[in-house]
Chain A
Amino acid sequence: MKRKILSAFAAAFLLGALTGCSGGSDNSLVVLNYGKYLDPEMLELFEEETGIHVEYEEYESPEEMYTKYKAGSIDYDLACTSDYMVQKLIGEGEVLEMNYDNIPGIKNLDQTYFEFSKAFDPENKYSMPYFFGTVGILYNTKMVDAFEVNTWDVLWDENYSGQIIMENSVRDSFMVPLKKLGYSLNTTDENELQKALDLLIDQKPLVYAYLVDESSDEMVAGNAAMALVYSGEAAAAKIYNKDLDYVVPMEGSNMWIDSWFLPKTCKHAQNAEKFLDFLCRKDVAMKNFEYVYYATPNLEVYKALDKEVQNDPTIFPPHEVLEDCEVLSSLDDDSTKLYNDLWKKLKSN
Chain B
Amino acid sequence: MRKLKRQLCAGPYIVWIIGFTVLPILMILYYAFTTPEHRFTLENVLSIAEPIHLKALLLSVRLALECTVLCLLLSYPLAMILNGLKIKRQSFIVFIFVLPMWMNFMLRILAWQMLLSNNGIINSILQALGFSGVSILNTPAAVVFGMVYDFLPFMILPIYNSLVRIRSDVIEAAKDLGASNMIVFFRIIVPLTMSGVISGVIMVFVPALTSFVISDLLGGGKVLLIGNVIEQSFMQGMNWNLGSGLSIVLMVFVIASMAFMNSHTKETEGTAVW
Q: Hey, which bits of chain A sit against chain B, CB under 8 A? A: 162, 168-170, 204, 207-211, 218, 221-224, 336-337, 340-341, 343-345, 347-348
Closest CB-CB distance, B60 to chain A, in whole Å?
11
Contact pattern, B 138-176, Cβ under 8 Å of A = 1, otherwise 0: 100000000000000000000000000000000000000
Residues of B contacting A: mostly: loop
Question: In the docked arrangement, what's the CA distance between A222 and B117, Å?
Answer: 10
B221 and A347 form a contact (CB under 8 A): yes
Q: Hey, which bits of chain B sit against chain A, CB under 8 A? A: 52, 55-56, 117-120, 135, 137-138, 220-222, 224, 228-229, 232-233, 236-239
* A residues less than 8 Å from B55 (CB atoms): 348
Q: Which of A207, A221, A345 is the one whose CB lies under 8 Å from B52?
A: A345
Closest CB-CB distance, B212 to chain A, in whole Å?
12
A222 and B221 form a contact (CB under 8 A): no
Q: Which of B52, B56, B220 is the one whose CB lies under 8 Å from A210?
A: B220
* B residues less than 8 Å from A348 (CB atoms): 52, 55-56, 224
* A residues less than 8 Å from B229 (CB atoms): 344
A204 and B119 form a contact (CB under 8 A): no
Closest CB-CB distance, B50 to chain A, in whole Å?
9
B237 and A211 form a contact (CB under 8 A): no
B236 and A169 form a contact (CB under 8 A): yes
* B residues less than 8 Å from A169 (CB atoms): 236
Question: In the docked arrangement, what's the CA distance between A169 and B221, Å?
Answer: 10
B236 and A170 form a contact (CB under 8 A): yes
Closest CB-CB distance, B61 to chain A, in whole Å?
14
Listed A/B pairs (17) with beta-carbon separation below 8 Å: A162-B135, A168-B221, A207-B222, A209-B221, A210-B221, A210-B222, A222-B119, A223-B120, A224-B118, A336-B238, A337-B239, A340-B232, A344-B224, A344-B229, A344-B232, A347-B222, A348-B52
Closest CB-CB distance, A7 to chain B, in whole Å?
18
CB nearest to A209 among chain B residues: B220
Question: In the docked arrangement, what's the CA distance between A224 and B138, Å?
Answer: 13
Closest CB-CB distance, A189 to chain B, in whole Å?
20
Beyond known contacts A207-B220, A223-B118: 16 more, CB 8 A cutoff:
A162-B118, A170-B236, A204-B222, A208-B118, A221-B117, A222-B119, A223-B119, A223-B120, A337-B237, A341-B52, A344-B229, A345-B52, A347-B221, A347-B224, A347-B228, A348-B52
Question: In the docked arrangement, what's the CA distance between A207 and B223, Å?
Answer: 12
B221 and A211 form a contact (CB under 8 A): yes
